[in-house]
Amino acid sequence: MKLDGSGQHRRHARMPIRSIALISMGPLSWITEVENISATGLLVHRPDEWVAGAGESGVLDLLLGDDLHIHLEASVTRLTPTHVGFAYTSIPEDKEHALWSLLGEYAENMDQPGTATDST
């Protein structure tokens, strides 16, 4: 999270999305559903038999829509009984534009009058 001008923490817009993620951490791997995605990370449903802790790194393979597959590195930043939060540590250069375009379209729609934004 970044501080805004008032010293308050500011969160990036989180785009709810229905997608699948393959999480790989060493010899372990899990398939789970993505709950939301932002410019800095994503939140997934906590897989059964999850064993990784905060600060551990892994590789995520995201399947977004019919034609976008993003392979990136991320670290665990948040754990709850039902969710795991990740922060990106490396996004392949050739996938950055596609990810930013996806999020940019969502942010533009959220800026339209009468549209609520998620500030959690």
Task: Please state, in angstroms and rounded to a whole number, the distance separating the CA atoms of residues 43 and 34.
Answer: 6
pLDDT digits (tens, 9 = 90+) for 25-44: 999 999 999 999 988 999 99
Q: Is residue 74 one of the residues assigned to a domain?
A: yes
Q: Is residue 3 one of the residues assigned to a domain?
A: no
- Which helix (H) or strand (E) is 23 found in, with range? strand 15-25
Number of domains present in the structure of the chain? 1
Nearest-5° Cα angle at 102, 16 to 50: 45
Torsion-angle region of 39 (φ positive above 0: left; ψ -120 to 50: alpha; else: beta): alpha
Q: Is residue 30 one of the residues assigned to a domain?
A: yes
* CA neighbor of 41 nearest in space, from 80, 76, 92: 76
Structure-model confidence comparison of residues 64 and 21, the more confident one: 21
| Domain coverage including residue 33 | 13-110
Q: Is residue 1 one of the residues assigned to a domain?
A: no
pLDDT digits (tens, 9 = 90+) for 62-110: 987 778 888 999 999 999 999 999 999 999 888 888 787 777 765 555 5
pTM beyond cutoff 0.75: yes
> What is the CATH classification number for the domain harbouring 32?
2.40.10.220
* Residue 100 · residue 39 · CB < 8 Å: yes
